[in-house]
Chains A and B, each alone.
Chain A
Amino acid sequence: MSTPSVTITVDGAPIEVNPERMLLPELLDKGFSIPHFCYQESLGSDGNCRMCMVEIAGKKRPQIACDTPIVTGMEIRTRGESIEKVRRDILELELINHPVDCPICDQAGECSLQDYYMEYGLYQGKVDKKEKHPFDKHIDLGANVMHDQERCVLCQRCVRFCRDVTHTDELCVAGRGDRSYITTVPGEKLHNNYAMNIVDLCPVGALTSKDFRFQQRVWFLATSPSVCHGCAKGCAIDIDHAKSKYHDDTIYRFRPRKNPEINGEFICDAGRLSYKETQTNLLKTCHIRKETLPEAEALDRWRAILTEDEYPIVVLADANLYTEELAALQAFARTLHARLYAPLEAYHDPAFGDDWLKSPQRAANSEGVKRLGIATEMPTINDNTLVINVNHPDGHRTANRIDLLTHQPDEDTGRVPARLTLPIAPWVQSSGHLINEDGIKQYCEQVLRRNDPIPTLIERLKQVTDEEYDKHFDNRETAS
């Protein structure tokens, strides 16, 4: 079915628009720059900020584009002295009670109010109200969301998100007139699992993330498109990272990246904060049992075990690995006459799942595992089997094994130390495809380029499967 289309005139030029939508989203999609606070793609129109005023031929007064239905042949003006004065005057009203403290505001650089201020050149406004209404600062709303009331423009995106999207209704407007402020309803804190999305939704610096605020100026951040590895939902994300002076390339935050087929414009808080796991507690050195040893010696050992041992081999693969890495493991297992498994039971977490973006299947590429035909059950293993454990959460049960790990093993769980442990790069230092539980394939670019790169899994495998060594494996028996 094709999208219906009618012709309207905007700033003198005819354009084709979809008459089933309101004027503002159509104009924004067509690239017109129209200031707006309360309208938001996922939340729709609310009509309270009055910023998106346009002139419509035949209408005495300017109209808000977010609540203007499209009529064939309508003539719109988004530019011109009179409409720009209207916008400038309304914007000026927004600033009466605003502290204009951009230099110390964490939103600076990604603030709609700041952008519009610059665009409408309000360098010398007529605001002369000496006393600003006193509002509270750094209020902990719960769920890692901090609120600075005096910067709020009362667009109510946050209130509407908690009302219309999560249906948890923790937020409300209290007070009246210019004393209005956003707060949690009495006796409650933000308690939904998606609360931090309101930080993204907030067009100004009123809601900031307790986790991210004051950590990095946004203009120093580079953005890499990626996919959250928190569960099999595969929410599209943007990863903001920076390699600043005296520091290595570091991730500062995950933000949702729009993907209408998966997560819309949102992600869960658990996924958002999972960036920390990609850069803390990483394994960087090689070990024999608990003793560290240099990379070169470890490499010899890695080759020696594979070529000299007679044990049948089982490879246990993490179901979070990229499809390319899983395929490389398949080839590796074939070369070694080993059997490859990616047991999925270990990733099943019913307590995590919900009916929106959180899947009880926590492995990011469980669907990729299935599509490659990799066995998903846990095989029976004893110490007469050599296990090559590639980061699998249940891969440490037997002593006769080689670990390829991204993170330092947790010694408290009583795990048996491996014969050999080698570090491999975490997913943000590698790249590849994931297939989410709905069969949607997405690409993750390599985000971090560290000063001391850790070999990726594929690089590790190449260390023992180049031509020189392949011949050693010809007489191996396949593990049963």
Chain B
Amino acid sequence: MIEDIRIISRRFDLPQSHTLAVARQHGAYQSVKTLTERTPESIIAAVEASGLRGKGGGGAPTGAKWRLMEGDFDGRPKYVVVNADESEPGTFKDGHILSKDPHLLIEGILLTCYALGAHDAYIYIRGEYYERQQILQHAIDEAYAAGILGQSIMGNDYRVDLTVHRGAGAYICGEKSALLESMEGKRGHPRLKPHQKEPEWYFGNPTLVNNVETIATVPFIVTEGAEAYRQYGTERSPGTLLFALSGHVNRPGVYEAPFGTPLMEYIEHYGGGIRNGGTLKAVIPGGASTSVLTADEAAQARLDYESMQGLGSALGTGGIIVMDESVNMVEALKNLMAFYHDESCGQCTPCREGTGWVDAILARILAREGSRDDLKKLLDISETMNGKTVCVFAPAASSVIDAMVQKFETEFLRYLDTGGAA
């Protein structure tokens, strides 16, 4: 049986949870009151010791990323940027934080800014999240009015200003360097990777970019301590994650769970099982960009980075898409590739042209004009897209193609041979 653990989502179910009054009644901003009595180093050390991993999809250790911000950088200002561009299909957890508990995020931002010596923070929010942006902005306004944000945060001798920056609706702007390009007023194209470890740069100034949920986890770690966070999850994937459950389940939604929770138990417990008592066919475990798992693989899967990696997939954003037997995998892959085709930023040749070509081949197969050669072609184009671009968009699309075509090859072949007849 699964035990409910609520670190991020503890205030989600309260009426008016997004308001300052309710949030404060239930513990918000406790950690900020006496913030300057702590050293910034103690906060970084706590985050490092907690083993917190970035919750935007990559799962990189947050502490190590924060350490890259250490140093003087010739006295240049440091910035904290929160990535709220959440656009991965099947992923809608950050939206929950923004609309249910924006003050948790603001609290996390205050702690992060203080720890890193930053005074200005930005939240880059997906343009389509209009309503959530309204709620967030309301919360920020409340926080300013209450002296929580601004010149001296809750009476501490430390300034933090927070600005919301709306994106214009591009998936790629969730990639941190493309996000910063966009914030600089340029086209959202990912930057070339640096040749050594370094922070991100916003107008040439050292910048931390973290996901909404990552920052929202910081208040718990600072208040309760690293060990309290580590008591959940696994040794290498400590803590919890807000998993977003969608697809053919009875109760889709956002439910927090410790890393390491068995995937099928999670689907049963929170999702109430497969819709209409149906049979599971496949699961996309961590947002559209992670490789599909067959029902057999899903039965072995646990919700942590290592387990998913062992199955040749990834935990990603924790956006779980459940598919029952009614799903036609050719159509499913076409649906996914239409997304990648539409969202490729167009910077690198393999991605720009590859995603469009794959989409066209799948359209042809669906139009009953495909041949068995097309499967080989899909895998060949996928190979050309994999690992040959600036960012990981194309490799992600590539892994989606490979997994679908290889794991459901018989279904694809049957579709091609019978012209789609069931």
Q: Which residues of A contact B176 (CB under 8 A)?
A: none
Q: Which residues of B contact A48 (CB under 8 A)?
A: 189, 347-349, 390
Is there contact, CB below 8 Å, between B349 and A177? no
Chain A residue at smallest Cβ distance from B191: A47
Q: Which residues of B contact A53 (CB under 8 A)?
A: 388
Q: Which residues of A contact B388 (CB under 8 A)?
A: 50, 53, 61-62, 86, 90
Q: Which residues of A contact B352 (CB under 8 A)?
A: 93, 154, 177-178, 180
Is there contact, CB below 8 Å, between B353 and A93? yes
Query: How far in angstroms is the closest Cβ of chain A from B162?
Result: 30
Is there contact, CB below 8 Å, between A177 and B187? no
B142 within 8 A of A: no
Is there contact, CB below 8 Å, between A50 and B377? no
Is there contact, CB below 8 Å, between B343 and A177? yes
A97 within 8 A of B: yes
Chain A residue at smallest Cβ distance from B347: A48
B344 within 8 A of A: yes
How distant is the Cα of A213 from the Cα of B350 in the complex, in angstroms? 31
B156 within 8 A of A: no
Q: Which of B187, B357, B360, B380 contacts A173 (CB 8 A)?
A: B187
Q: Which residues of B contact A49 (CB under 8 A)?
A: 348-349
A172 within 8 A of B: yes
Is there contact, CB below 8 Å, between B346 and A96? no
Q: Which residues of A contact B357 (CB under 8 A)?
A: 93, 96, 127, 129
Q: Which of A86, A96, A172 contacts B353 (CB 8 A)?
A: A96
Query: How far in angstroms is the closest Cβ of chain B from A185?
Result: 11
Is there contact, CB below 8 Å, between A176 and B356? no
Residue picked from B348, B352, B361, most chain A C-beta under 10 Å: B352
B389 within 8 A of A: yes
B170 within 8 A of A: yes
Is there contact, CB below 8 Å, between B387 and A61? yes
Q: Which residues of B contact A154 (CB under 8 A)?
A: 346-347, 349, 352
With contacts A89-B380, A126-B377 taken as known, whether A175 is within 8 angstroms of B346 at the C-beta atoms is yes
Query: How far in angstroms is the closest Cβ of chain A from B344?
Result: 4
Secondary structure of the A contact surface, majority rule: loop
B297 within 8 A of A: no
Q: Which residues of B contact A175 (CB under 8 A)?
A: 346
B98 within 8 A of A: no
Which residues of B115-156 are within 8 A (CB) of A? none
Query: How far in angstroms is the closest Cβ of chain A from B266?
Result: 33
Bitwise, B79-118 to A at CB < 8 A (1) or not (0) is 0000000000000000000000000000000000000000
How distant is the Cα of A61 from the Cα of B377 in the complex, in angstroms? 21
A466 within 8 A of B: no
Which residues of B335-364 are within 8 A (CB) of A? 341-357, 360-361
How distant is the Cα of A419 from the Cα of B220 in the complex, in angstroms? 100
With contacts A67-B192, A173-B187 taken as known, whether A178 is within 8 angstroms of B387 at the C-beta atoms is no
With contacts A129-B357, A172-B187 taken as known, whether A178 is within 8 angstroms of B346 at the C-beta atoms is yes
Q: Which of B342, B343, B346, B380 contacts A180 (CB 8 A)?
A: B346
How distant is the Cα of A405 from the Cα of B350 in the complex, in angstroms? 59
A140 within 8 A of B: no
A449 within 8 A of B: no
Is there contact, CB below 8 Å, between B170 and A178? no
Chain B residue at smallest Cβ distance from A92: B384
How distant is the Cα of A89 from the Cα of B381 in the complex, in angstroms? 8
Bitwise, A170-187 to B at CB < 8 A (1) or not (0) is 001101111110000000
Q: Which residues of B contact A173 (CB under 8 A)?
A: 187, 346
A69 within 8 A of B: yes
Sort chain B's interface into a size bin: 20 to 34
Is there contact, CB below 8 Å, between A93 and B360? no
With contacts A96-B357, A178-B353 taken as known, whether A126 is within 8 angstroms of B380 at the C-beta atoms is yes
B195 within 8 A of A: yes
Which residues of A313-356 are within 8 A (CB) of B? none
How distant is the Cα of A28 from the Cα of B352 in the complex, in angstroms? 27
Is there contact, CB below 8 Å, between A131 and B360? yes
How distant is the Cα of A51 from the Cα of B350 in the complex, in angstroms? 10
A94 within 8 A of B: yes
A138 within 8 A of B: no
Is there contact, CB below 8 Å, between B346 and A177? yes
Q: Which residues of A contact B345 (CB under 8 A)?
A: 176-177
Query: How far in angstroms is the closest Cβ of chain A from B396?
Result: 15
Bitwise, A133-147 to B at CB < 8 A (1) or not (0) is 100000000000000
Bitwise, B391-411 to A at CB < 8 A (1) or not (0) is 000000000000000000000
How distant is the Cα of A90 from the Cα of B387 in the complex, in angstroms? 12
Q: Which residues of B contact A177 (CB under 8 A)?
A: 341-346, 351-352, 355-356
With contacts A67-B192, A86-B388 taken as known, whether A176 is within 8 angstroms of B360 at the C-beta atoms is no
Chain B residue at smallest Cβ distance from A98: B353
How distant is the Cα of A131 from the Cα of B363 in the complex, in angstroms? 12
With contacts A94-B353, A96-B353, A129-B357 taken as known, whether A50 is within 8 angstroms of B389 at the C-beta atoms is yes
Query: How far in angstroms is the closest Cβ of chain B from A149?
Result: 13
Q: Which residues of A contact B354 (CB under 8 A)?
A: 93
Q: Which residues of B contact A129 (CB under 8 A)?
A: 356-357, 360-361
Chain B residue at smallest Cβ distance from A180: B346
Chain A residue at smallest Cβ distance from B384: A89
Q: Which residues of B contact A176 (CB under 8 A)?
A: 170, 342-346
Q: Which residues of B contact A204 (CB under 8 A)?
A: none
A153 within 8 A of B: yes
Chain B residue at smallest Cβ distance from A62: B388
Query: How far in angstroms is the closest Cβ of chain A from B380?
Result: 7
Q: Which residues of B contact A180 (CB under 8 A)?
A: 346, 352
Is there contact, CB below 8 Å, between A93 and B384? yes
Query: How far in angstroms is the closest Cβ of chain A from B85?
Result: 15
Query: How far in angstroms is the closest Cβ of chain A from B381?
Result: 8
Is there contact, CB below 8 Å, between B341 and A178? yes
Q: Which of B195, B349, B377 contacts A51 (CB 8 A)?
A: B349
Is there contact, CB below 8 Å, between A50 and B346? no
Q: Which residues of A contact B341 (CB under 8 A)?
A: 177-178
Q: Which residues of B contact A61 (CB under 8 A)?
A: 387-388
Which residues of A106-155 are within 8 A (CB) of B? 126-129, 131, 133, 153-154
Q: Which residues of B contact A60 (CB under 8 A)?
A: 387
Query: How far in angstroms is the closest Cβ of chain A from B290?
Result: 20
Q: Which residues of B contact A153 (CB under 8 A)?
A: 349
Chain A residue at smallest Cβ distance from B353: A93
Bitwise, A412-426 to B at CB < 8 A (1) or not (0) is 000000000000000
How distant is the Cα of A126 from the Cα of B189 in the complex, in angstroms? 29
Which residues of A259-314 are within 8 A (CB) of B? none
How distant is the Cα of A264 from the Cα of B352 in the complex, in angstroms? 32
Q: Which residues of B contact A97 (CB under 8 A)?
A: 353, 356
Query: How far in angstroms is the closest Cβ of chain A from B254?
Result: 29
Bitwise, B178-215 to A at CB < 8 A (1) or not (0) is 00000000010100100100000000000000000000
Query: How far in angstroms is the closest Cβ of chain A from B69?
Result: 24
Query: How far in angstroms is the closest Cβ of chain B from A201?
Result: 18
Which residues of B255-295 are within 8 A (CB) of A? none
Q: Which residues of A contact B387 (CB under 8 A)?
A: 60-61
How distant is the Cα of A86 from the Cα of B385 in the complex, in angstroms? 10
Query: How far in angstroms is the closest Cβ of chain A from B367?
Result: 11
Is there contact, CB below 8 Å, between A86 and B356? no
Is there contact, CB below 8 Å, between A86 and B347? no
Query: How far in angstroms is the closest Cβ of chain B from A190?
Result: 19
Q: Which residues of B contact A179 (CB under 8 A)?
A: 346
How distant is the Cα of A154 from the Cα of B377 in the complex, in angstroms? 24
Q: Which residues of B contact A178 (CB under 8 A)?
A: 341, 344, 346, 352-353, 355-356
Q: Which residues of A contact B195 (CB under 8 A)?
A: 69
Is there contact, CB below 8 Å, between A47 and B384? no
Closest 3 CB pairs of A and B: A180-B346, A93-B353, A178-B356
Q: A97-B353, A129-B361 are in contact. List 7 more A-B contacts (CB 8 A).
A: A50-B349, A67-B192, A128-B377, A175-B346, A176-B342, A177-B356, A178-B352
A-B contact pairs, 10 of them (CB 8 A): A50-B349, A61-B387, A67-B192, A69-B195, A86-B384, A90-B349, A96-B357, A128-B361, A178-B355, A178-B356
